[in-house]
Structure 1
Amino acid sequence: MTKNPRGYLIQLRNYWSVVLNKIQSKSNSVLYGLLAGIGLLIFYLSIVSLFQGVEFAFFNLRSLWYLIFPLAIGFGIQIGLFTSIKHTAQITGTVAGTGTISGGSMIACCSHFLLQMIPIAGVSGISIFLVKYQSWFLTFGILSNLFGIGLMFNHKKKMKGGACHNG
């Protein structure tokens, strides 16, 4: 018996559609992660430039690069992972519940921008305290990013292993 060539072509087309979709989604995850990390750096420079001037923004970036770049990289990784998990959930029908920790990490990641606005609000005492401990806040943001990334990797691993399911 010979197989139906039309049915074979339909199966082949469906297979390649799934393969191309997976390749495209992975590259989109990386792209979204890169754009998010770069966007966070641009946002940081914009906010600091707005309140302190462009020269100070770049001076501050140069002096705190060892904290700001890991923060931006962690943010980008989380966005990339979230995009990948969301896409995998759509394909496989699994639940993509990673929002709470990654959302908290992103809030902690960006909370140091408030330091620039506090003097405008007339709360100079708190401003001095927060600026003094700025590196601690940035370090906390990095640690919470790492925690969120770990949870997201674990969730993605469970999704691949079939441990996550609807309901």
Structure 2
Amino acid sequence: MIDRRIVYGFISSILLLVFYASINYLAGGTEAVYWNFRNYLPYIAVIDAGFGIQIALYTHIRSFGKSCNAVASTPVTAGSMVACCLHHVTDFIPFAGVGLGLFLSQYTELFFLIGAASSVVGVAWMLSIVQRWNLYSEDALLSKLMVVDYLKMRNALLVLSAAVLLLWYVSKPYRYF
């Protein structure tokens, strides 16, 4: 019997990849799908894996009868999805004007960085919820992962994410804002 948490996480991950590939295909055909996966694969992998893990953890938390309102990281999951796909706004910008499209296309990597960072922080956040509420049994895989203080890890990852984003911004020769 396969654990439904793993199934939901895996299916969510696959659906996110299909959604991403579909947006790329609609914007530029097969070449756009190939080009984006080739050039942004590390970002896509982190965002996609983080999303699948968050869905699996969300399913795990719900299996203990906790309400959806109690899961504080849901905005992080939504934020990583928005940041992940936000750079595709540039695909449809020609209708709004070339200048805006060129401006936003300069920040594709930044949008991916934000999506990857929020995905990693979201996983740590959900693990901190599992840890805080003791939502694991002693013989389960999650109990082996609970040797780390995930609340501290989440805070450290937030600071590290901000530092990486700042470093990215400062390293660019031309800044538009």
TM-score between both structures, scaled by the size of structure 2 = 0.67
Structure in which a larger fraction of residues adopt helix? 1
Alignment partner of 1:40 is 2:16: yes
Match of 1:116 among 81, 84, 91: 91
Secondary structure of the corresponding residue to residue 155 of structure 1 = helix
Secondary structure of the corresponding residue to residue 86 of structure 1 = helix
Greater Rg by CA: 1
Deviation at 1:95, TM superposition (A): 6.8
- Return closer, same or farther for 1:94/1:56 CA change in 2, 3 Å cut-off: closer
Identity %: 32
CA–CA separation in structure 2 for the residues paired with 1:107 and 1:87 = 27
Residue type of the partner of 2:34?
F
Alignment partner of 1:52 is 2:28: yes
- Return closer, same or farther for 1:95/1:118 CA change in 2, 3 Å cut-off: closer
Structure 1's consecutive aligned runs of 4 or more residues displaced over 3 angstroms after TM superposition are 93-96
List runs of 5+ in structure 2 lacking aligned partners.
Answer: 137-177
Secondary structure of the corresponding residue to residue 53 of structure 1 = helix
List runs of 5+ in structure 1 lacking aligned partners.
Answer: 1-22, 163-167
Counterpart residue number, 2:121: 147
Secondary structure of the corresponding residue to residue 104 of structure 1 = helix
Secondary structure of the corresponding residue to residue 133 of structure 2 = helix
CA RMSD of aligned residues (A): 2.4
CA–CA separation in structure 2 for the residues paired with 1:73 and 1:161 = 22
- Return closer, same or farther for 1:42/1:125 CA change in 2, 3 Å cut-off: same
CA–CA separation in structure 2 for the residues paired with 1:40 and 1:130 = 23
TM-score between both structures, scaled by the size of structure 1 = 0.71
Alignment partner of 1:103 is 2:78: yes
Q: Is the 8 A contact 2:90 2:104 kept in 1?
A: yes
Counterpart residue number, 2:61: 85
Higher relative contact order (CA 8 A, sep 6+): 1
Deviation at 1:94, TM superposition (A): 9.9
User: What is the aligned length?
Assistant: 135
Q: Is the 8 A contact 1:48 1:57 kept in 2?
A: yes
